[in-house]
Structure 1
Amino acid sequence: MKPRLLVTTAMAGLLAVGPIVPASAAPLTPQGPTVSETAAPVLPCPRMPAPKASRLPRATPPPVMAEDRALREPALDTAGLVVPAGAPTPPRVTATSWVVADLDSGQVLGGCGPYEHATPASVQKLLLAATMLPKLDPQQVIRVTAEDMNIEPGSSAVGLVEGGRYKLETVWLGLLLNSGNEAANLIARLGGGEDGVAGGVVAMNEYARHLGALQTHAVTPSGLDAPGQFASAYDLALIARACFDNPDFRRYARTESTKIPAQKAKKARAFQIQNDNRLLYNYPGAIGGKTGFTDLARHTYVGAAERDGRRLVVTLLGAEAQPKNGWEQGAALLDWGFGLPRTAAVGRLVEPGELAERASPEPSPEEAEELNASPAASSPRQAGGVDLFWPLVALAVAATALILVVQFKRRGVGRGR
């Protein structure tokens, strides 16, 4: 893509996210004999009648990059319904997009608009968890700072106090059970090193690309709305799979309640919190997940369950809470998935690092020699040996962010959890 065209698109209010990869990358195709060779025809997604959503407009998604599309599963690259041939019609839901996938095999059992961009709300905390759990010691005692407490007034908080000292494990539970936005800031700050929260968000985006979540771009660690922040149902399944591979996450996600310790120095009493994922209490075999809501994102949900040695995950974006809550819609889709044969699928979840390898193959010795012999100024991204591409990208992103911030301030953004 030429930088001039990218800037033109951004000035129109669109933000391109995700890594730039060669347009020649081979498209990903279903692998193995267990994947259905022929999917059912693309159909409109079954929709459940729902009350009118908030009058706030949905965020304008970034343009679909041809390079990203070349790396998608062809059968899943649709805004409509895709299910295995001969599968029963999935239950009707209010979600604008969803995916059901197998956590162990990686098979995608079906979906509606799997790659469609949407606003994630607090299910983005799963990306924070997948990124930071392997890096941070859960037994470390940390002190809450004023930076950690810098959250939108009235938004979801677990109740940590500035200056309080907590085991990081307690903070993780506050993040995943009660969707604490101050907990998200703290974890991102710790994982971001010298760059603090901003460094944590950079790490989240890098890990999303490593997982192959090309439609995901984080701007806040908590999922509170911000210009340019998106995810997709397919990406959330990738992220959830990484989370459930971590034993600490599995333990936290199944915890029904925990105690937040007193902070005597701050005259703060101990209190108990409960897991707000109702699937745990109402669905046999539930193993955890995450809820989310903002006025802009509407209801978002990720839930997983195990049945007969089979672990499935469901991801939903853009749902309404009426006539059924997000977790109830997720439960219905899990039932549908468990009712399918184990061999039924329409695609698969890519493995971590797989798309990076496909997008950036090692050059052959001949290609490497030719590249080394080429003068620097011959690159279409350069003029006079000076690389102009990334400055132009930065200008495009800044222009887009400014436009969207103005729109958000005019219309208002809902407080999320």
Structure 2
Amino acid sequence: MRGRVRAAAVGLAVAAVLVSATGTAGAQAPPVCHDHAAPPGPAAVEEGPVPVPPLPVQDPPVGGPALGTCDLALPVGAPPVPAGIDAAGWVVADLDSGAVLAARDPHGRQRPASTLKLLTTLVVLDRLPLDQVVTGETEDVQVDGSRAGIGPGGAYTVQQLLSGLLLNSGNDTAHALARTLGGVPQTLELMQQRATAMGALDTRPATPSGLDGPGMSSSAYDLALLLRAALRNPTFAELTQTRLVQFPGFGAHAGFMLSNDDPLLRSYDGALGGKTGFTDAARHTFVGAAQRDGRRIVVALVRGEQQPVRMVAQATALLDYGFAMPAGLAPVGTLVEQAPVTETAATASPGTPDGPAGVLPESSPVGWVVAGLILVAGLATGVVYIVRRARGTKDGPGPD
């Protein structure tokens, strides 16, 4: 009897070990990238002494598995990347199809600086009438960084404030728009909802202007998503290509002309516009787009420097690279239209927010099928041994 029990136990134990091994082998471990959880240090003073927990790292990566790399993602047969591209992360994609043509560390999380104003703009365009009048307040003027030039008591339409936000990267206009949306906390919540819904899951806004704040992050991939979405709005498409616009004065201060500070618009034939950004912690960021021969391409760069190659020159080289990419090469990923549905969300049922009992999202379904078959085989081995012993047969030498 002890031999029968021992045999059955051995069968079960072997099956259990194989189940464990199969589950581990079936699961695909996410790539280990130093900046995929949170932007690298040193943190900005504004981020505070206690770090904010990072956003979850997406596995599989949004846009396709090849975009989970920490390094280059290039199609088979692609030409070499132009020299002098030193930004920590970048993406080149077809603006219309969403095909990602090439990338480097596309989901590496960095601080976006003022490129985050694209997300602020999307929320404003969704929720505020362009002709709504906003009165400037002292608190708008007191924000740090670049300003468009609004003042206390000045009257500005939402469209004029958007002009200051996009052309002159006005942090004062960002604050005024946030007030109009219900305040900074409400605006940040709306920005987060918008980013999450569109699949920009590396993005967490901490300020409406892009100034550094606790937990702030985005990525080259997300910035390409944001500009792609923004350019679908006719108002944004017109504003981002505007070179000069009349801006109202306030009190005794006369009105003046605002000029667009996008260097790509001034230097690249076919430029559709874009947005620059800089803080000490973020370094230089840029996202822009251009069209050529009926094709439109978006480029996004994060954590770059102006030396030895200026950011606009890096963006120009990557746009040229995208336009010259040979036809027929398979893209390395895609810019998504909305947040992907996770396995857990797809299988969850009411009352079980984490999905059905026994489902482990991090394991491969195929691995679990194989594991189940092995478990059945292990049980069968023990049962056969018991039956054969009961019939007086013996599988081999050994004590009873």
TM-score if structure 1 supplies the norm length? 0.69
Q: In the alignment, what sits opposite 1:349?
A: 335
Note if contact 1:140-1:168 (Cα within 8 Å) is conserved in structure 2.
yes
Q: In the alignment, what sits opposite 1:145?
A: 137
How far apart are the structure 1 equivalents of 2:328 and 2:294?
A: 14
How far apart are the structure 1 equivalents of 2:214 and 2:68?
A: 25
How far apart are the structure 2 equivalents of 1:320 and 1:350?
A: 28
Q: In the alignment, what sits opposite 2:173?
A: 183
Residue 214 of structure 1 aligns to a residue whose secondary structure is coil
Match of 1:197 among 184, 193, 213: 184
Q: How far did residue 142 of structure 1 move?
A: 1.3
Q: How far did residue 341 of structure 1 move?
A: 3.3
Match of 1:84 among 70, 75, 83: 75
Name structure 2 gaps, 5 residues minimum: 1-26, 29-40, 45-50, 356-400
Note if contact 1:291-1:300 (Cα within 8 Å) is conserved in structure 2.
yes
Aligned letter for 2:336?
A: V
* 2:56 maps to 1:65: yes
After superposition, the CA RMSD in angstroms is 2.3
Q: In the alignment, what sits opposite 2:388?
A: none
Q: Deviations over 1:8-32 (max 9, x none)?
A: xxxxxxxxxxxxxxxxxx99xxxxx
Change (3 A) 1:140 1:65: closer
- Identity value in percent: 44
Q: Which has the larger radius of gyration?
A: 2
Q: In the alignment, what sits opposite 1:302?
A: 287
Match of 1:327 among 292, 306, 312: 312
Aligned letter for 2:333?
A: G
How far apart are the structure 1 equivalents of 2:172 and 2:270?
A: 30
In the TM superposition, what are the counterparts of 1:268-279 in structure 2 within 5 Å? 268-279=253-264
* 2:121 maps to 1:129: yes
How far apart are the structure 1 equivalents of 2:213 and 2:86?
A: 24
Change (3 A) 1:359 1:330: farther
Q: In the alignment, what sits opposite 1:406?
A: none
Residue 239 of structure 2 aligns to a residue whose secondary structure is helix
Match of 1:313 among 295, 298, 301: 298
How far apart are the structure 1 equivalents of 2:135 and 2:54?
A: 41
Q: In the alignment, what sits opposite 1:248?
A: 235
* Alignment: residue pair count: 307
Q: In the alignment, what sits opposite 1:212?
A: 199
Q: Deviations over 1:259-311 (max 9, x none)?
A: 11233xx1011111211111111101000000001111111000100111111
Q: How far did residue 104 of structure 1 move?
A: 0.8
Q: In the alignment, what sits opposite 1:224?
A: 211
Q: In the alignment, what sits opposite 1:403?
A: none
In the TM superposition, what are the counterparts of 1:285-296 in structure 2 within 5 Å? 285-296=270-281
Q: How far did residue 131 of structure 1 move?
A: 2.0
Q: In the alignment, what sits opposite 2:155?
A: 165
Aligned letter for 1:129?
A: T
Q: How far did residue 358 of structure 1 move?
A: 6.1
How far apart are the structure 2 equivalents of 1:205 and 1:145?
A: 26
Residue 361 of structure 1 aligns to a residue whose secondary structure is helix
Q: How far did residue 323 of structure 1 move?
A: 2.2
Q: In the alignment, what sits opposite 2:252?
A: 267
Note if contact 2:89-2:301 (Cα within 8 Å) is conserved in structure 1.
yes
Q: Deviations over 1:360-392 (max 9, x none)?
A: 2265xxx44x749x9xxxxxxxxxxxxxxxxxx
Q: In the alignment, what sits opposite 1:234?
A: 221
Aligned letter for 2:73?
A: V
How far apart are the structure 2 equivalents of 1:306 and 1:275?
A: 19
Change (3 A) 1:359 1:317: farther
Q: How far did residue 62 of structure 1 move?
A: 5.7
Aligned letter for 1:204?
A: M
Q: How far did residue 126 of structure 1 move?
A: 0.7
Name structure 1 gaps, 5 residues minimum: 1-25, 28-55, 375-417
How far apart are the structure 2 equivalents of 1:110 and 1:62?
A: 30
Q: How far did residue 325 of structure 1 move?
A: 2.0
Aligned letter for 1:361?
A: A
Residue 92 of structure 2 aligns to a residue whose secondary structure is strand
Change (3 A) 1:71 1:299: closer
Q: Deviations over 1:12-65 (max 9, x none)?
A: xxxxxxxxxxxxxx99xxxxxxxxxxxxxxxxxxxxxxxxxxxx8257896573
Note if contact 1:277-1:327 (Cα within 8 Å) is conserved in structure 2.
no
Note if contact 1:61-1:117 (Cα within 8 Å) is conserved in structure 2.
no
Q: Deviations over 1:381-413 (max 9, x none)?
A: xxxxxxxxxxxxxxxxxxxxxxxxxxxxxxxxx
How far apart are the structure 2 equivalents of 1:358 and 1:107?
A: 24
Q: Deviations over 1:65-117 (max 9, x none)?
A: 35x22353210101101111111111231211000111110100111100001
State which drifts further: 328-337 or 84-93: 84-93
Note if contact 2:60-2:68 (Cα within 8 Å) is conserved in structure 1.
no
How far apart are the structure 1 equivalents of 2:320 and 2:344?
A: 36
TM-score if structure 2 supplies the norm length? 0.72
State which drifts further: 57-66 or 142-151: 57-66
Deviation beyond 6 Å, 4+ runs, structure 1: none
Residue 290 of structure 1 aligns to a residue whose secondary structure is strand
